[in-house]
A and B are shown apart, each in its own frame.
Chain A
Amino acid sequence: MNDWVLIQSLVVAVSTGTPVVLAGSGAILTQRSGVLDLGVEGTMLIGAVTGFWVTTATGSPFAGLVVAVLAAAVFSMIQGVLAVSLRANQVVVGVALVIFGSGLSSFIGSQGDPPLARRFSGAIFTPVFPESVHDWPAVGPLLLSHDPVVYMSWAFVAVVQWYVFRTRTGMHLRAVGHDPASADAAGLRVSGMRYLHVALGGAAAGAGGGYLTLRLFSDWFDDMTAGMGWIAVILVILASWRSLRLLVAAYAFGAISSLGFTLQLLGWNIPTELLAILPFLVVYLVMVFVSAAERRSQMPAALAEPYFRESR
């Protein structure tokens, strides 16, 4: 494999992995608070369709991204109410949110004349730095050729890492997810923390969804996330709830997903249907091997367990 193919493949891996980086880092915040939001796939779709809608109306991908983030944060409040206040089963709520988000985004996409699903926005995110620097050896394509959302995702990963492990609120967050009864006794607002981090996770998933319509595919089609949201949730587990590891895992996912592109550059021809299986097969196998080898889980101890003050 020559260097050019390798570098081009890495660049594509970064853009393919970016929605997962964003949604996954957000899911770290949610899961650290003790809420397992399996609805990320649905939340991403809401972000994708609302972001696309606003961008076709305003011509500004930035406006689209802002709306995607806000809409997704609002959408994720369904998870907040059901999982935190009504203490519902989080697996069932997650599946319900994916079904609802898929249906609602598809419904929104069918509105308008012509419907959103048949529109082409034209306005998408473009690289931050001028074309001339993209050709600098290695550094150019790998670090300087990206659009603003990729740089935002790097900043977000760093902020999440710093926030969770280096700040006081981050410590409170981990306490709430680990032992809500003790956190409550120590005066932390368990429900408030959980609501907040469900919203933050939803907002990040919305940004990830927005990236799909505003850069990666540059238009909207039904169920376009195609499992990316589920992958994001699962990579969080594989990354032991740490955002730097998640970044690596998400780009590995990006590389595997875009393997078809690489193989095409190398002149190989493998049916796309088989390549489409690959990321899911790899995640399945890695999950099995990791759980077989694992000694001690890093999982927030109260993950997916509703907290009820009276029953402690």
Chain B
Amino acid sequence: MTAPAVDRAAARSGRWHIPITVEQRAASRFLQQLGVNLVALVLAFGLGAILLLMAGDNPFDVYREMFDRAFGSSRAFRETLRSTTPLILTGLAVTVCFRMGLWSIGAEGQLIAGSVAGAAAALVLGPSLPASLAVAAVVIAAALGGAAWATLASVPRALFGTDEVVTTLMLNFVALGIMNYLIYGSVSYWRDRTNLGFPAGKVIPESTQLDPYFGVFDAGLILSLALALIVALALRRTVWGYQLRVAGDSRAAASYAGISATRQIISVFAVSGALAGIAGGTFVMSITFALEPRAIAVNLGFVGIVVAAVALLKPLLVVPIAFLMGALLSIAPSLSIFGVSPAVVIVIQGIILLCVAGAQFFIRYRVRITRAEVGSR
């Protein structure tokens, strides 16, 4: 039974001989990887242009307008930087987990948990503490909130092997639902009780609202840059980072080396959750100034996956990529003014991630066109 089947397969491959061979690369250079990803980025904008053409818009005009609105004025540049901060942090959160081969897509929910905890700290402690202490308290509360939310996924993963893709996803929706409930479904501590119109979050005290220094950098951005550096150093120079990279390359090797998977999974998730949580806390302090579900739940966690993937899971590369994605994100609302659907930005983000995911093939494999030799296989 088996033998003829093999023959059939052989006959088939003879008939359909494609003059391309695919070889696994032994190792790939960093610049080569970066180059492939940059090509993927350009390709994504090219595909986006085709979509714009099909919708009857002139892609050059749209892209020029987008560029102007992201970088054209100091105000535009400031908006771009403000959108960069949360993306650096969610990008780092995703990087830490993905580097270990933990496919957490929970940054979204952890960011929301961080926003809720951070806003609570701002509302409770803001009035009584000096500004710098109050801001620090919000950051710490947000980090704890995000880390706690991540623990709901990491503990089942570590103890029972519960798939983290599933749990983090479900927890995203639960977190979103809780935040909606706090503002729209109940008269909670976070809700502005003096506002009788559409339900809104209570504005945080001025001491916790971040002002940009030198008109550009606010404390959130500086903190996120520092955290990118810390994560890069932690991955490269600490035992924790070393063990994480070993486990990311091979679980089996890590377990032979006596690295405790349980402790590692929980600690990596906690760090990742804390980073995403801080993204939520700083977002509340520098952009929304209140727990505003509609402004907070804008897929920053998911875009963090795009950032991390394009940045090749390198913490320092996360910063420029987050800046690029932040530019895209900050112009989305203004697109509708000149008649283009803001959804274009989401489409381009999706295409970028698809292109980058596909481009990894050309990093891992070498594709060569070979001359077909008749009769050979």
Interface residues of A (CB under 8 A from B): 38, 42, 78, 81-82, 86-89, 91-93, 95-104, 106-107, 109-111, 184-187, 189, 222, 227, 230, 234, 237, 271-274, 276-277, 280-281, 283-284, 287-288, 291-292, 294, 308, 310-311
8 contacts between A and B (CB under 8 A): A86-B361, A92-B309, A103-B347, A273-B181, A274-B185, A280-B174, A288-B162, A291-B162
Distance between Cα atoms of A101 and B328 in the complex (Å): 18
Contact A100/B160 with A107-B55, A227-B173, A311-B24 known, Cβ cut-off 8 Å? no
Q: How far is the CB of B209 from chain A (nearest CB, A)?
A: 27
Q: Is B344 an interface residue (CB 8 A)?
A: yes
Dominant SS among interface residues on chain B: helix
* Further contacts, 19 of them, CB under 8 A, given A100-B349, A186-B6, A276-B177: A82-B354, A87-B361, A88-B361, A95-B305, A99-B303, A101-B350, A103-B345, A106-B341, A106-B343, A109-B343, A237-B166, A274-B185, A280-B170, A280-B173, A283-B166, A288-B167, A292-B156, A308-B22, A310-B24
By the criterion CB–CB under 8 Å, are A107 and B343 in contact? yes
Distance between Cα atoms of A104 and B349 in the complex (Å): 11
Dominant SS among interface residues on chain A: helix
Which B residues between 13 and 38 are near A, CB-CB below 8 angstroms?
22-24
Contact A89/B350 with A99-B302, A234-B169 known, Cβ cut-off 8 Å? no
Residues 165-185 of B, flagged 1 when their CB comes within 8 A of A and 0 if not, give 111011101100110110011
What chain B residues lie within 8 Å of A106 (beta carbons)?
Answer: 341, 343, 346
Q: Is B222 an interface residue (CB 8 A)?
A: no
Interface residues of B (CB under 8 A from A): 2, 5-6, 8-9, 12, 22-24, 51, 55, 103, 105, 152, 156, 159-163, 165-167, 169-171, 173-174, 177-178, 180-181, 184-186, 299, 302-303, 305-306, 309, 341, 343-351, 353-354, 357-358, 360-361, 364
What chain A residues lie within 8 Å of B344 (beta carbons)?
Answer: 103, 107
By the criterion CB–CB under 8 Å, are B353 and A288 in contact? no
What chain A residues lie within 8 Å of B360 (beta carbons)?
Answer: 86, 88-89
Contact A274/B162 with A92-B353, A284-B170 known, Cβ cut-off 8 Å? no
By the criterion CB–CB under 8 Å, are B167 and A274 in contact? no
What chain B residues lie within 8 Å of A95 (beta carbons)?
Answer: 105, 302, 305, 353
By the criterion CB–CB under 8 Å, are B156 and A288 in contact? yes
What chain A residues lie within 8 Å of B343 (beta carbons)?
Answer: 103-104, 106-107, 109-110, 222
Distance between Cα atoms of A281 and B361 in the complex (Å): 37
What chain B residues lie within 8 Å of A185 (beta carbons)?
Answer: 6, 9
By the criterion CB–CB under 8 Å, are B160 and A107 in contact? no
What chain A residues lie within 8 Å of B181 (beta carbons)?
Answer: 271, 273-274, 277
What chain A residues lie within 8 Å of B350 (beta carbons)?
Answer: 42, 96-104
Distance between Cα atoms of A185 and B160 in the complex (Å): 35
By the criterion CB–CB under 8 Å, are B171 and A110 in contact? no
Q: How far is the CB of B203 from chain A (nearest CB, A)?
A: 21
Which residue on chain A has the smallest CB distance to residue B164? A91
What chain A residues lie within 8 Å of B348 (beta carbons)?
Answer: 103
Interface hub of A81, A109, A274, A288 (most chain B Cβ within 10 A): A288
By the criterion CB–CB under 8 Å, are B180 and A273 in contact? yes
By the criterion CB–CB under 8 Å, are B166 and A234 in contact? yes
By the criterion CB–CB under 8 Å, are B160 and A291 in contact? yes
By the criterion CB–CB under 8 Å, are B341 and A107 in contact? yes
Closest 7 CB pairs of A and B: A100-B350, A103-B346, A273-B185, A277-B177, A187-B5, A96-B353, A271-B185
